[in-house]
Amino acid sequence: MPNSKLKQALDSGKFVVTAEAGPLKGTDIKEIEEIAHLLKGKVDAINVTDQQSSVMRLGSLVTCHLLKEWGVEPIYQLTCRDRNRIALQSDLLSAWVLGVENCVALTGDLPSSGDHPQAKPVYDLDSVQLLGVMHSLNEGHDMMGNELKGKTDFFCGAVVNPGADTEASLELQIIKMEKKIAAGARFFQTQAVFDPSSFEKFIKRVEQYKVPILAGVIPLKSAGMAKFMNKNVAGINVPQAMIDKMTKAEDKTQTGIALCAELIRTLKGMCQGVHIMAIGWEKKVPDIIAAAGL
Amino acid sequence: MIVGERKQFDQIWESIKNYKSVLILGCGTCVAVCQAGGEKEVGLLASEIRMKSQMEGKAIKIGEATIERQCDREFFDSIKDQARDYEAILSMACGAGVQFCAEVLEPIQVFPALNTRFIGVTEQEGNWAERCRACGNCVLGTYGGICPVTICAKGLLNGPCGGSKNGKCEAGQEKDCAWVLIYNRLKKQNRLENLRGIVAPKDYSLQNHPARVVNEFYTRPIISSGEEKNAK
């Protein structure tokens, strides 16, 4: 029987916490095993990124399988950048056989942002179509309608950027979100939120869909990090007051954790959970959770 | 038009430096418009090669010619005899023209002087931009005449990725996000509903290479009505 612990947690109505872990470049899995053991029991699931930022590294699928073996619920992130529809479907079947029950469909960054900028980008499918493919496999057939001997029962999720900066961007995000839901997305994890008031406006627009939303948060390590993200990362807008607090802080680490925890407490009333993207600070996630009182 | 870009001179020089005679053959259509391989560019490249060969102490005979199109066999007729006097041809056509050149003038060796870039338009003098990926299944009617397959860096069909910032593309701030352009155009046309509904995966079998288009009206045997009667 399918038994996604993430689905159970969301169904229970509790405030769900997911974290994120990026496999490293190479075959050394010590770091990710440490993170898994440290977060086990403290988060409901961990997303494993898929060649994040187009940097080649250990695969998401096998890392998800390892997390499962270490007793942590994995969320398999799958991008459309590196595989065509044949490979994507095959990897999804493989994931199910390895005990992976949750997956998140993403478009994927362009190869130009990573360490193999000369790679051929694939994008045979887009994230909406990939969700449709996951749904087909759950129904017992591939995307061409061919019957499967043994089907999947994935709990499928998607991402959305609530901080879209213009009317057109925001409307486009919402239209795409509707399509993702129609294609089979059962939960959403968002791009990092820093400004609760703009997030609240977004939530008001999309709460009608009744699909659980986990607000993305990133703990700040420095004021410079915030400024860099404001300039370079789509949909991220760290308010100046927060940047000032980081600039003035004597203990940047403690301040970063405290600000993140405060943000989580504010967001708690607005959505169904939080997705902590620690970006190198995975081992501090338990401190953030504790400080947020979760 | 097909937009081409001249190769770096050093690369061109490397390909032809060991021949005694080279005919530089321009193409008078697309690549002439985009100022990469027309008559004027043939003259410029010829001068560069003459200067370089003089500096290197090589005696290379350089010829110049331009035909209307290198993608139609008949246009080669006018230079066929001239070409026989040369060991090598430096074709300034797009990749399609270079291949026809090599076929029609066989066994003379043919080298490309351009890199073929894309199907595009003249944005302004000296500035050409890609507008079509020749996907074999045109969707421009749905998207207000803006092609997501071409203008979206990821060729997405169901809306933008998360990388769109201030209406610009993840691939670079100098590139517009196709989806913001499409949204704004459709909004003006009062048909934003075109953005709703899931678009199915594209049929990439339509892009199997090499592609061929056959118009049977022109390829069927020509029989006059009189002959048709006699045949019966």
* Structural domains in chain B, sorted by start: 2-118 (3.40.50.2300), 135-200 (no CATH)
**Per-residue model confidence (pLDDT) at position A232:** 84
pLDDT of residue B187 exceeding 80, the answer is yes
What residues does each domain of chain A span? 5-219+271-280
- The least confident of A109-113, B115-119, B164-168 is B164-168
CB pairs under 8 A between A and B: 97
Q: What is the pLDDT of residues A52-100, one digit of tens each?
A: 999 999 999 999 999 999 999 999 999 999 999 999 999 999 999 999 9
Q: Within 13 Å and on the Cβ side, how many CA atoms surround B132?
A: 14
pLDDT in tens, B215-228: 888 877 766 655 55
Cα separation, A132 vs A23, whole angstroms: 27
Most B CBs within 10 Å: which of A85, A175, A228, A275, as the mutation test of the B interface? A175
> Does residue B145 belong to the interface with chain A, where contact is any CB pair within 8 Å?
no
Task: Indicate the residue of B179, B199, B200 with minimum beta-carbon distance to A172.
Answer: B179
Name the residue among B153, B158, B167 with its Cβ closest to that of A126.
Answer: B158
| Residue numbers in A near B197 (CB within 8 A) | 179
pLDDT digits (tens, 9 = 90+) for A162-207: 987 788 999 999 999 999 999 999 999 999 999 999 999 999 999 9
Q: Which CATH architecture has domain A5-219+271-280?
A: Alpha-Beta Barrel (3.20)
Residues of A with CB under 8 A from a CB of B: 80-81, 85, 106-107, 109-110, 112-113, 121, 123-129, 132, 143, 159-161, 164-166, 168-169, 171-173, 175-176, 178-179, 182-183, 191, 233-235
Interface test with A, best of B165, B180, B199, B202 (most A CBs within 10 A): B165
| pLDDT of amino acid B222 | 66
pLDDT number for residue A30: 95
- Distance between alpha carbon B133 and the CA centroid of its chain, in Å? 11
Q: Enumerate the residues of chain A whose CB falls inside 8 A of the CB of residue B165.
A: 165, 233-235
What residue type is A168 in one-letter code?
A
Chosen for mutation from A84, A122, A142, A169 (greatest number of chain B CBs closer than 10 Å) is: A169
From the list B158, B161, B183, which residue is nearest A179 (CB)?
Answer: B158
Question: Which pLDDT tens digit goes with each residue over B45-61?
Answer: 999 999 999 999 999 99
User: What is the reported pLDDT for A1?
Assistant: 47
Q: What is the predicted pLDDT for the residue at B232? A: 45
pLDDT of B173 higher than 70:
yes
Query: Which tens digits make up the pLDDT trace of B1-40?
Result: 999 999 999 999 999 999 999 999 999 999 999 999 999 9
**Whole-number pLDDT of residue A258:** 96
Average pLDDT along chain A? 95
